[in-house]
Amino acid sequence: MTKTPIAKDHVARVHYTGTLPDTGEVFDTSEGRDPLAYLVGHGKMIPGFEEEMMGAVVGERREFTLEPDKAYGMPTDELVHEFPKEDFSQLFDSGVEISVGMQLVAQTFQGPAPFIVAEVKEETIVADFNHVLAGKSLKFSVEVVEVRQAEPEELSHGHVHGAGGVNH
């Protein structure tokens, strides 16, 4: 029996560990959890991850390192914004002390947007909306546990259903 390779419009389920190559620090892993399930070719994964996994079959292990342009890109100044401290009054009123490096989430018309506090000034707070892994190379160790053709409903919804995906 031929094993189905990972290809566009398939569902892939993988166990993975992502590390920073320069330090070996684990930034994400599926260890101790269900495998990650993703709809291949629909922009749900960082581009380099999908590219590196194309053609892999169940039982195959792959290791690869992605440069920033194939992962989360380089940080850009356009994603750094300064806000008046009064915009954070709810936090201050509840006793939270905002400090550099703290991760917060802004509620926007497009949904939640995480950011890192880059600077706390007298009257303003500088928020960096770049992804926390922007500018970094990422190393992955991945094992394929399942590959199947996506169901028509998954393709129309743009995400995986069932184990490791969306249940609705």
Rounded Cα–Cα distance for residues 49 and 68 (Å): 12
101 token code pair:
């490096």
CATH number of 10-72+133-157: 3.10.50.40
Domain ranges of the chain: 10-72+133-157, 77-128
Res 162: pLDDT = 74
Rounded Cα–Cα distance for residues 84 and 60 (Å): 51
Res 127: pLDDT = 97
Res 11: pLDDT = 96
Which residues lie closer than 8 Å to 70 by C-beta, 6 or more apart?
A: 46, 47, 48, 51
Res 16: pLDDT = 98
Assess if CATH 2.40.10.330 describes domain 77-128.
Answer: yes
Q: Low-confidence residues of the chain, pLDDT below 70? A: 1-2, 163-168
